[in-house]
Structure 1
């Protein structure tokens, strides 16, 4: 076992990847252990500590899912009921889909909704209602229940269900259902509450590799249910303790445990092997783990829990694109150091130009484009915001990810691993139609559909 301490490894790893600030918390043997490195911002540097607020991004979804499970346990929500039971005004691009999508479909990303709408519906208490009113503009990628495809819009819609059932703004409902009873005193949605405390700013890499502070600090309010929470390493370990415990007065124990059970399988996904309720499920070296990652503009978070070992780790970093690799390296080191569990990437097969030819092309979701290209050395993948979206935005838009090398994996040859670049370690797969033609690619759980040449 390594003699390197957690603090030493975090410092070395943050330095290696050029991350200004990292906060790490580990729950092991019933004790909280923290290792914090660096500063909150290159422009206004303050030391990072265990109470520093970072943007959690999509880790927020675990809170939204848990709140809905609490409402279900109280008999106020039926998970298998159509969303229209609570939002009769719901309209989608397809009327049949609008009638069929259930609350459970939203929570395990099987609603068939595309990733998201990039629309700012303001900072008022009607932000979610206005977002839902715009959903007829969102594309549908499958029938409800047919497959999993990660959807921020689906969780925003789930947040609106919470508003309608409780009669409260989403943020207030979460505070009363989750924050207050669990004593989460460093978890906030509102900018005025966040900026009154020590908080981390995101950073993005310029073309020359230098870092600049991301000026768009938090997402639009309508995205709060799926990605708007700012929290600390200390609060995230409290959150992990709750999900490792008996639920107390917040959730019946059997309901808490049910969130960890598979509801839909995943294929070649960095997220894991399956989705429970709000959690991604993974088998790592024979041990079952649950977790969720998240990203903002130059900020990245990872929360992983191993229930059978009463273990949890949270890592939050404030620079992109290397924050993903930094977080992953720290999580993997901790799994090996504390649990003797090894998490390793699969080995790609040798590059075959003839096999690669049918994969080359452009793929898209509503706001982003993914391009697969090839040269004599292999395949590469580039993903970024559509130029027309970037040009039309009056807000700062995160930079595109530069091209990254990918390798195909053993098996049918449709699964791949990103082997180099800021997205390295990401798993995905190409999908085909009934004729065998490649029609899509999954990256980070999202289905990018092929664009005709």
Structure 2
């Protein structure tokens, strides 16, 4: 794959999907290839390059997990130990669960915690402690260890373990344990640090199709940073990928993590059933077999910024793609990852085969009903009121009033989808992994 081929595909795809600025990096055959296109902002445009900063959103979780594994290597944390050994003040609605949840349960999303708490605990050094205190209101969706369910709150709690064990703030701990040893100088948390460098702002599309800058830019509240607050560049992301495919040493030769612990992060810890994210969860990573090849990756969605990082360790191959417009930023990232896998490795990532028609299943009574998460309600109708005699689906999504009231932008009140539009193909980066 040549630089010209990659650049042509990136430029064409970004133009087709209406993305103002994208940065793509590929590691293959021991070399880096970059293809960057467009601008950082439609209001104050600057050219995007491999050092332009983007919000990583939930890709941050891979950094939080790796920092924690450094404490495991030093004998300061045990994966099978209860979280309360390190955060004794942890309080949940279920006392038994609070006592039983282990560190590993947090890292592979098997703690049984709901997605998260909508709560801004400020910008002080006590922000993460305040977030963990607010988890006393968080619902549990399953007993610890019984299933994997993605949780922002769980990773914020991992961040609090880092604080308690190291005596540092979360940001200082991650910098000391991971960013500085690996030379990731363009990976930052604080907006005041980001604003002195070239960074991409997110964009969202108005009802008339016009792209507008997404506000606020701030990636997430400080209490949410362990699950989604890092800002980084395509160049730093390829360095991060190379480290995780290596032997645990930095490019300088300094040992950052024992090779066996680094490898353990990429091994299955729990199977994922019917998940669009992968086949299994490692430690901080989603694992998915694509065309007979094991891939290891994570994606993230923020306010108009979208990130995808995918590695193929057995081929010493990695791709990172960053885009700055919703909702098509997700589609752009997916298209680039698929094209790169096919073009360079000959690996085909195909959509799942549709199930054969079944008259009973077609009526979809088994999934019809009302569903609720912290931010919205979802109603799936299959009773025929959509004009299809019960053989189709209508999906209605309503953002909760309290979420709307807290938002800095005017959110849509209701979204309805027809049967043909409510069943998208498998994605590799979805809003369920958003930082906030």
TM-score (norm 2): 0.91
1:324-365 CA distances to partner (integer Å, 9 max, x unpaired)? 111100100000000000001013234857532342232111
Cα deviation, residue 371, structure 1: 2.9
Q: Structure 1 residue 310 and structure 2 residue 316: aligned?
A: yes
Counterparts of 1:60-99 in structure 2, within 5 Å, are: 60-99=60-99
Q: Structure 1 residue 327 and structure 2 residue 341: aligned?
A: no
Rate the CA distance shift 1:224–1:384 in 2: closer, same or farther, 3 A.
Answer: farther
Aligned to 1:410: none
Aligned to 2:248: 247
Aligned to 1:435: none
Aligned to 1:414: none
Counterparts of 1:380-399 in structure 2, within 5 Å, are: 380-383=394-397, 385-391=399-405, 393=406, 395-396=408-409
1:417-439 CA distances to partner (integer Å, 9 max, x unpaired)? 9645xxx5349xxxxxxxxxxxx
Rate the CA distance shift 1:425–1:2 in 2: closer, same or farther, 3 A.
Answer: farther
Q: Structure 1 residue 293 and structure 2 residue 306: aligned?
A: no
Do the aligned residues in 2 keep the contact of 1:55 with 1:229 (CA within 8 Å)? yes
Cα deviation, residue 289, structure 1: 0.6
**Could you tell me which of 329, 340, 343 is aligned with 2:346?**
340
Rate the CA distance shift 1:32–1:354 in 2: closer, same or farther, 3 A.
Answer: closer
1:43-86 CA distances to partner (integer Å, 9 max, x unpaired)? 11111100000000100000000000010000011111000000
Q: Distance in 2 between matches of 1:70 and 1:257?
A: 13
Do the aligned residues in 1 keep the contact of 2:3 with 2:33 (CA within 8 Å)? no
Do the aligned residues in 2 keep the contact of 1:317 with 1:323 (CA within 8 Å)? yes
Q: Secondary structure at the match of 1:226?
A: helix
Q: Secondary structure at the match of 1:305?
A: strand
1:373-420 CA distances to partner (integer Å, 9 max, x unpaired)? 4543843545453233212x153476689545678xxxxxxxxx9645
Which range moved further: 95-104 or 350-359? Answer: 350-359
Cα deviation, residue 367, structure 1: 1.8
Do the aligned residues in 2 keep the contact of 1:115 with 1:151 (CA within 8 Å)? yes
Rate the CA distance shift 1:205–1:242 in 2: closer, same or farther, 3 A.
Answer: same
Aligned to 2:190: 190
Q: Distance in 1 between matches of 2:414 and 2:291?
A: 30
Aligned to 1:233: 234
Q: Structure 1 residue 280 and structure 2 residue 293: aligned?
A: no
Aligned to 2:372: 364
Rate the CA distance shift 1:54–1:384 in 2: closer, same or farther, 3 A.
Answer: farther
Cα deviation, residue 136, structure 1: 1.1
1:97-143 CA distances to partner (integer Å, 9 max, x unpaired)? 11000110000000000001111000110000000111111110000
Q: Which runs of 4+ in 1 moved over 6 A?
A: 1-4
Aligned to 1:261: 267
The alignment's C-alpha RMSD in Å is 2.4
Q: Secondary structure at the match of 2:42?
A: coil
Q: Structure 1 residue 163 and structure 2 residue 177: aligned?
A: no
Q: Secondary structure at the match of 1:268?
A: coil
Q: Distance in 2 between matches of 1:354 and 1:340?
A: 36
1:153-201 CA distances to partner (integer Å, 9 max, x unpaired)? 0000100000000000000110010011000010000000011110111
Do the aligned residues in 1 keep the contact of 2:21 with 2:324 (CA within 8 Å)? yes
Aligned to 1:42: 42
